[in-house]
Amino acid sequence: MYKHILLPTDGSDGVSTIAEHAGSLAEQYDATVHVLSVVDTRNRFEGPTMGLGSDAWEDAQREQAERAVEDAAAALPDDVTIERHVESGVPHTEILDYADDAGIDLIVMGTHGRTGIDHYLIGSIAERVVRQSPVPVVTVRIDEN
């Protein structure tokens, strides 16, 4: 049923919980897990990297994305085939584009369950993916604790 499972990650805590779900499905269906992290090109002047030159910022963000991919891959079962990818752009767009280009059958991703003003201000990548994805999406609630 599922041959290619996408596990998008931003390096947030809880990746092991998401990987547990993706890994279990991959083992059940003998599927490949594609671990993807997206360097968000929209927010260069927000957060801890503000004030860095564009090359330094891009390098720092790419390194963080590569660590996120490796951490997620390390949390998957040893017998699962894994493909690792880092893309740059708007996260939900890159996730959906990758899913289309790679022939993904299922997306397994985390959600923080933000509500109210946090949801309004920060938005939800998972929500956008769920609403726009042509393939099934399994969301795994990540506890803030």
Write the CATH number for 71. 3.40.50.620
Give the C-alpha separation, 144 to 136, whole Å.
Answer: 25
Q: What are phi and psi of 17, to 5 degrees?
A: -70, -45
- Report the Cα 34 to chain-centroid distance in Å: 10
The pTM of this model reads 0.86
pLDDT of residue 44: 55
Is 19 within 8 Å of 117 (Cβ atoms)?
Answer: no
> Residue 32's domain spans which residues?
4-141
Sheet holding 81-89, edge to edge: 81-89, 32-40, 4-8, 106-111, 137-141
Query: How do residues 50-70 score in pLDDT, each as one tens digit?
Result: 555 677 778 888 999 999 999
Q: What is the mean pLDDT of residues 70-88?
A: 97
Confidence of residue 141 (pLDDT cuts 50, 70, 90): confident
Query: How do residues 22-36 score in pLDDT, each as one tens digit?
Result: 999 999 999 999 999
- Cα–Cα nearest to 9, from 90, 81, 68: 68
pLDDT of residue 120: 45
pLDDT of residue 60: 87
Is the model more confident about 30 or about 44? Answer: 30
Task: State the total domains in the chain.
Answer: 1
- Residue 39 exposed, middle or buried by CB count within 10 Å (0-12, 13-18, 19+): buried
Query: How do residues 82-136 score in pLDDT, each as one tens digit?
Result: 999 999 999 999 999 999 999 999 999 988 655 555 444 445 888 899 999 999 9
